[in-house]
Structure 1
Amino acid sequence: MDGHHIDLAAIVALFLGGVAVWLTYRNPKLGAAIGVGAVVITLVWLLLGL
């Protein structure tokens, strides 16, 4: 190992992204709703500077 580690937040984000992709594959309408929700949450996060 060269000292590079992945933190817990990155692991959770990758897992949730994988789940979202799987849900979109299984049910496109639910996947679209998850995508819109993720965009809204990201915008609020960026605008509030959290």
Structure 2
Amino acid sequence: MNNDQISVRMVVLLLVGTFTAVVALHHPAVGAAIGVGAIVVTLLNELMGR
């Protein structure tokens, strides 16, 4: 794996985490923004690692 793939992976994780946190902030029923963002990023990180 080269550095370009690592960079793209990190950008995707950050974008999805940010999007999820923004959605959670605008819709409080979804849950706490930091918790939801962290869970989504963690799951994506695990899935992309396989």
Tell me the TM-score normalized by structure 2. Answer: 0.48
Rg larger in 1 or in 2? 1
Higher normalized helix content (fraction of residues): 2
Tell me the TM-score normalized by structure 1. Answer: 0.48
